[in-house]
Structure 1
Amino acid sequence: MGVFWLALAAFAIGTEAFVIAGLLPVISEDLQISAAATGQFVTAYALAYALGSPILAVAFNNFDRRHVLTLALSGFIAANLLAIASTSFPLLLASRVLMAMGAALCTPTALGVAVALASPERRGRAVALVTSGITVATVIGVPLGTMVGNQFGWRATFVMVAALGAVALAGVLYGVPRGLPNSTATLGERLAVARHPGVLYALATTVLWAIGGFTVFTYLAIPLQGLGFNAADISLALLIFGSAAAIGNMLGGTLADRFGPLPTAAVGLAGMATALVLLSLALKSTTPDHTRYVVLLLVFGWAIAGWAFYPAQIASIVRIDPRTSVIALSLNASTMYLGFALGGAAGGIVLSILGPTDLGWVGGSSVAASLAVLLFRGRQERLKPYKIAG
């Protein structure tokens, strides 16, 4: 039962991380700031998560896991309450940074606790249940949070997330025992794994993929509004994206087992890059009546392809050296959030200099660069295979 509360915490955190994309227009209007400036709430959150996760993991290495989860969720909830009270850009930005720090401490701790709570034959399922909280957040949490925010004001979304976090915290206090074993890697161990050439190529692939996706996703509501989408339509578009992402995640894992991680990852990146470039082309060259349906179809294809890449990428990282895969995957998660931050910043620059119809081809170019790194990594592995631990 304890693992369920960890999954609920992951659901709240996943909703928080991605829901700003759907609320961007209403926050921008309420705080009277530009869409590009509003997008920096995503950048700040993702950057704080990327930098905070390894630092906080090391800092709280010797603390009881239950206490760490309690602290992380309490901070996350308090930051959401601060967001509710925010009336200015700096205060809301500070609340987003604090949310990210709570999330950065909670998520990897929750995964470690799930492993500790489960019997050896159920550990894979326990980890999958926790991570499914984030997947379900993209399907349910983000569209629901967008709908609530547009219907009752954007602060209502933070009330919803704070309430979810509070329920998860109560569950952790009730269902997670004290004295669980800790397996957090030291900073030195993390740096040693990061220097492995295969891991370096993989991290570069992940960061370019994340930059490409969030250059567009952060500001997706802006071109949608230009096509006449209202709040309900934007929620529907995010529901389509989240549903396709969940399908892509399952499909990517299945195809990686059958055809291999690198070929599956390559196909996913190629499909995602194509969909993003076509998204820009559709926004620039077709009439609004026809573009609405084309854009939704491309959003669906982008999400399936982009999230089919991710489980294949995870599988390929594990194969580099199974002995250090936990550390490598932790580094990959931090790198992913770094990419989200850079993507949010890049999208803001595109909006300021070019326009919303240019987001797709800029994001697609980054994904194409990710594909190039992946193919180069595959070529290096064929020429000089890495020594995999037995």
Structure 2
Amino acid sequence: MRIGRLGAEGARDARLMLSASALTALGALPPFLLGAQAVRVRPELGIGLGVLGAAVSTFFAAAALGSFAAGPVFDRTGRRVAVAAAGGFVALGGGLMAALVRGPVSLLATMVVLGLGNACCQSASNSSMARALAPSRRGLGFGVKQSAVQFAIMVGGVAVPTLGRWLGWRSTFATSAAVGALVVALALVRVPAGRAAPVAATGAVDRPPWAPLLVSGVAIMFASAAANFIGSFIASWGFEVGLSTTATGLLMAAGSAASIAVRVFAGWRADRRHGANLPRVAAQMFAGALCLVGVAWGVPWAVVVFGFLAFAVGWSWPGLLLFAVARVGRDSPAQASGVIQAGAFVGGAAGPLLLGTMAGAVGFRPTWLVAAGLFVVAGVLVLVSRRGFRADLVARPPREPLTWGGGRVEPSGPRG
């Protein structure tokens, strides 16, 4: 009987991870569809690299602002409204992109709508993970959920030689709009409508340490700026050095698939050790810096090899970083991970805009080197934040002792 119950719980957790990941991928997809098809979108809309970067940045800026409002609203209205709103914004934005976008102004306005859709998708999926996933699978859950962004990039890459080539780039956004409409329909039929249960008052809240938490938020801001520049402009750089649009699309797809595998594996491993996650995050960021130096070389084979590794290894840290910070978030893991999410959105907004403008002004090669430097700064800040977290655990022992990643109690000193 117990084995059957555990099997049912495992199946339920698997469905939860996959549905949250699918919703996250749907919200994150638009900027990568735009970036992967940039060589076709730019001539039709009459835009340059600067406007393309501004469009991607507008998406993330709208997502950052929308995420602050979405959480409290959805806490009051429940999961059904959250999922329906997410699908509705995606459907509206995709439809506008497919039918009405004709120039820079309409492109930027539509990316605002799609950015709000991303905020709703993130809030809805995060709520599902936080309220229902078993503690013993939380590291794996973060890895699977954060793989959704890479899945979005992979879908964007595959769309170039398939749907985008056959029916035009607008057809890819029409397809995402149709999926958004399907999400709305499923939310109204299948998602529970109950409100979130209020948190019981249990006395003073054991808050996370703000100084290292903010340092972590700044770290992911720098890393996200570099990483989103990869996703938005690697196709344009590959085309510039002599790769075909099909080859660049497949590069994005293959690199994203490898990153998904690494993120899931890293989360699975995190459930089986007692901390020490942040040094691994920093190592992944440093690896990303080395890969971008190789991409800057500009030889077609180097762009393929190091671009693939930049996706697979250099952009495999988001799930592990979120899990590590939430783990030392004491009584407020959602608040702690929220700081990280805010930093990621800010970096996602600033990176493509600033680096895209720089690429248009001085070329891609020096811009890739600057992006590599951002990865180095991010890795150093992650190690600095780890020192702060460890010092805080010694000075202010948590009310609930830290466990192994999988929720198993293990007496051990703070290892962060």
Q: Which TM-score bucket, shorter chain as reference?
A: 0.7 to 0.9
Which residue does 1:342 correspond to in 2? Answer: 350
Q: Is the 1:7–1:132 contact (alpha carbons within 8 Å) kept by the matching residues of 2?
A: yes
Contact persistence 2:27–2:119 (CA under 8 A): no
Match of 1:249 among 263, 271, 290: 263
Query: Shift in Å at residue 348 of structure 1?
Result: 1.9
* Aligned residue in 1 for 2:42: 28
Q: Structure 1 residue 262 and structure 2 residue 256: aligned?
A: no
Query: How far apart, CA to CA, are the structure 1 residues paired with 2:135 and 2:194?
Result: 18
- Residue equivalent to 2:364: 356
The aligned residue for residue 10 of structure 1 is: 24
Q: Distance in 2 between matches of 1:316 and 1:152?
A: 43
Counterpart of 1:228?
242
- 2 CA distance for matches of 1:102 and 1:265? 28
Change (3 A) 1:197 1:117: closer
| Residue 323 (str. 1) matches residue 338 (str. 2) | no
Amino acid at match of 2:345: Y
Superimposed CA distance per residue, residues 325-362 of structure 1 (whole angstroms, 9 cap, x where no aligned partner): 12211231222121111111122221132102222101
State the shift of 1:261 in Å. Answer: 0.6
Cα–Cα, structure 1 residues 34 and 316, in superposed 2: closer, same or farther, change >3 Å?
same
The structure that is helix-richer by fraction is 1
Report the alpha carbon displacement of residue 378 of structure 1 after superposing the two structures with TM. Answer: 3.0
Match for 1:162 among 177, 181, 196? 177
Deviations 1:289-341 (A, max 9, x none): xx222211101221222233223312320232232112211231222121111
Q: Matched residue of 1:177: which SS?
A: coil
**Which position in structure 2 is the counterpart of 1:70?**
84
> What is the CA deviation profile of residues 106-139 of structure 1, one whole-angstrom value per residue up to 9, with x for unaligned ones?
3212332355566888888777765554443333
Q: Which residue of structure 2 lines up, in the alignment, with residue 209 of structure 1?
A: 223
Identity, in percent, stands at: 19
Is 1:50 aligned to residue 64 of structure 2?
A: yes
Report Cα offsets for 1:178-220 as digits up to 9, x if no partner: 1242569xxxxxxx96871121111011111111222333221
Maintained 8 Å contact 1:113/1:180? no
Are the equivalent residues in 1 in contact too, given 2:153–2:231 (CA < 8 A)? no
User: 308-317 or 270-279: which moved more?
Assistant: 308-317
Residue matched to 1:41: 55
1:90 aligned onto 2:98: no
User: Displacement, 1:381?
Assistant: 4.3
Partner of 1:272: 288
CA contact (8 A) 1:252 1:307 kept: no
Distance 2:159 2:109 in 1: 20
- What amino acid is the match of 1:179? G
> Partners in 1 of 2:169 and 2:207 — Cα distance?
41
Q: Does 1:238 align with 2:252?
A: yes
Report what 2:202 is aligned to: none
Residues 1:82 and 1:168: Cα distance change in structure 2 (over 3 Å): same
- 8 Å Cα contact 2:143/2:265 also seen in 1: no
- CA RMSD for the aligned pairs? 2.8
SS of 2:37's equivalent? helix
Distance in 2 between residues matched to 1:296 and 1:182, nearest whole Å = 49
Rate the CA distance shift 1:224–1:248 in 2: closer, same or farther, 3 A.
Answer: same
For the 8 Å contact 1:208–1:369, the answer to whether it is kept is yes
Greater Cα offset, 121-130 or 172-181: 121-130
